[in-house]
C-alpha cells in the first residue's frame, strides 16, 4: 500500500487519522513538533519530530520516502490567541504550509488533504452552511486557513497539485477503542470541558448566554465524531490517489444537525450519571462573536465521495469521550 505523510499526526485529529490509515494497510510517517501533540499518540506511524519551518528536514524526509500523498493537520487553532498574536498564525498556518507545498512540488507529490475550518466563513448569512456560503473570516485563524485554500487553487493551476480541503465545524468524541482522545492545553472545546467538570478536573462549566434566538436560548453547534471526520479524510485521499478527483476541491463536513449548549450538557449529565457523577453549571454573559447557530450542509461530500456519518447520536459521541476522560483522570491521579 502507498506511504502517506501525516503532518500533525501526534495531535487530536491527526492521531486518529494515523490509526485509521494504518488499520487500512497504509504505511504512515508522522511529522510533528510535539508542541501540542503527544509522542504516544503517534503509535501507529513512524514519528519524526520536527517542524514545517525546517526546510532542510522537509527535503530529507521527501528524499528518504516516496510519499503518495500528504495530509496536513498541523496548525495553530485558538481563535482568541490568533487575535492577540496574528503573526504566529500567519507564520505557522500559511508560511509553513507553503514550505510543505513547495517541497511536494519539487518531489512530484501531487495529492494533498488539508484540514480547514468553518472559521473561514465568519458570521453566517444562512444555515445550514454550504460550500457556496460567502467566506469572510473575522479572525486571523480563519483568515490563515482561507489563505491556504486560495493558495491550493493557485498551486493546482501552476503545478498540477490536486487537493481536498475539508472545512469542519466541531470535531469531538474519541477513539471507540479507548486508545486515543482529546487532550488540549488549554482546553477550549465544549464536550471535554463539560466532562472535566464531571470528572473533577475542573469545578464547573459556564454557559455563556441563554438569550440567543434558539429553542432553549443557548448557542447551537454541529458536532462531528472524530472517527467520522477521519473517514471523510480517508475517502478524499482515496479519491485523489485513484484519480477520481482532480483540482482544488472543498467540502463542508458536519453531522448536518445542531445541538444546543444545553442539549450537550444534558447528554453529558445522562452519560456520567451512570458513574454517579454530576455537572455543576454556572451562568455567564454572551461572548463577543458567538453566532447563535452554526450547522454544516454536508450534502456535497455525501454525493461526490459517498461519505456517511456513522456516529450521529450525541450520547454515543459523549460516551466515547467520557471513557477517554476517565482514563486521563486515572492517569493524572
Helix (H, G, I), strand (E, B) or coil at 252: strand
Active site residues: 141
User: In this structure, what DSSP letter does residue 124 have?
Assistant: -
CA distance 87 to 217: 36
Q: Are 75 and 92 in contact (CB under 8 A)?
A: yes
The dihedral of CA 55, 58, 63, 68: what is its sign? negative
Distances, alpha carbon 184 to alpha carbons 17, 40, 77, 244, 328, in Å: 17, 15, 11, 36, 12
The residues facing 251 across adjacent strands are 166
DSSP 213-242: SSSSSS-EEEEEEHHHHHHHHHHHHHHHHT
Cβ-based neighbour number of residue 315 at 10 Å: 12
- The closest alpha carbon to 119, from 62, 75, 53, 154, belongs to 75
Residue ranges of domains in the chain, CATH in brackets: 3-171+223-253 (3.40.50.720), 173-222+256-332 (3.90.25.10)
The residues facing 31 across adjacent strands are 7, 48
Helix (H, G, I), strand (E, B) or coil at 157: helix
pLDDT per residue of the chain (333 residues) written in tens, 0 to 9: 589 999 999 999 999 999 999 999 999 999 999 999 999 999 999 999 999 999 999 999 999 999 999 999 999 998 889 999 999 999 999 999 999 999 999 999 999 999 999 999 999 999 999 999 999 999 999 999 999 999 999 999 999 999 999 999 899 999 999 999 998 888 889 999 999 999 999 999 999 999 999 999 999 999 999 999 999 999 999 999 999 999 999 999 998 889 999 999 999 999 999 999 999 999 999 987 788 999 999 999 999 999 999 999 999 999 999 999 999 865 443
The dihedral of CA 82, 87, 91, 95: what is its sign? positive
**Ramachandran sector of residue 62 (left: φ over 0; alpha: ψ -120 to 50; beta: rest):** alpha
pTM for this prediction: 0.95
Amino acid at each position: 500500500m502507498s506511504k502517506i505523510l501525516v503532518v500533525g499526526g501526534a495531535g487530536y485529529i491527526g492521531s486518529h487519522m494515523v490509526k485509521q490509515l494504518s488499520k487500512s494497510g497504509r504505511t504512515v510517517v508522522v511529522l510533528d513538533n510535539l508542541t501540542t501533540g503527544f509522542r504516544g499518540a503517534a503509535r501507529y506511524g513512524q514519528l519524526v519530530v520536527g517542524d514545517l519551518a525546517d526546510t532542510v528536514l522537509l527535503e530529507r524526509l521527501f528524499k528518504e520516502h516516496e510519499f503518495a500523498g500528504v495530509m496536513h493537520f498541523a496548525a495553530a487553532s485558538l481563535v482568541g490567541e490568533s487575535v492577540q498574536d496574528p503573526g504566529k498564525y500567519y507564520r505557522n498556518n500559511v508560511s509553513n504550509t507553503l514550505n510543505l507545498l513547495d517541497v511536494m512540488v519539487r518531489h512530484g507529490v501531487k495529492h494533498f488533504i488539508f484540514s480547514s475550518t468553518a472559521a473561514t466563513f465568519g458570521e453566517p448569512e444562512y444555515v445550514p452552511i454550504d460550500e457556496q456560503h460567502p467566506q469572510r473570516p473575522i479572525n486571523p485563524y480563519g483568515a490563515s486557513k482561507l489563505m491556504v485554500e486560495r493558495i491550493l487553487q493557485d498551486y493546482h493551476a501552476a503545478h498540477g497539485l490536486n487537493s481536498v480541503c475539508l472545512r469542519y465545524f466541531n470535531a469531538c468524541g474519541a477513539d471507540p477503542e479507548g486508545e486515543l482522545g482529546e487532550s488540549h492545553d488549554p482546553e477550549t472545546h465544549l464536550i471535554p470541558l463539560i466532562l472535566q467538570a464531571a470528572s473533577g478536573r475542573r469545578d464547573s462549566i459556564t454557559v455563556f448566554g441563554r438569550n440567543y434566538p434558539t429553542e432553549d436560548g443557548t448557542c447551537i453547534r454541529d458536532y462531528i465524531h472524530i472517527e467520522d471526520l477521519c473517514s471523510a479524510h480517508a475517502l478524499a485521499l482515496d479519491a485523489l490517489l485513484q484519480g477520481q478527483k482532480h483540482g482544488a476541491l472543498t467540502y463542508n463536513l458536519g453531522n448536518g444537525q445542531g445541538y444546543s449548549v444545553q442539549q450537550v450538557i444534558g447528554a453529558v449529565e445522562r452519560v456520567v450519571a451512570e458513574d454517579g457523577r454530576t455537572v455543576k453549571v454556572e451562568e455567564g454573559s454572551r461572548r463577543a462573536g458567538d453566532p447563535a447557530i452554526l450547522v454544516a450542509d454536508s450534502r456535497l461530500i455525501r454525493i461526490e465521495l459517498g461519505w456517511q456519518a456513522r456516529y450521529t447520536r450525541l450520547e454515543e459521541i459523549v460516551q466515547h469521550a467520557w471513557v477517554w476522560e476517565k482514563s486521563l483522570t486515572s492517569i493524572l491521579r
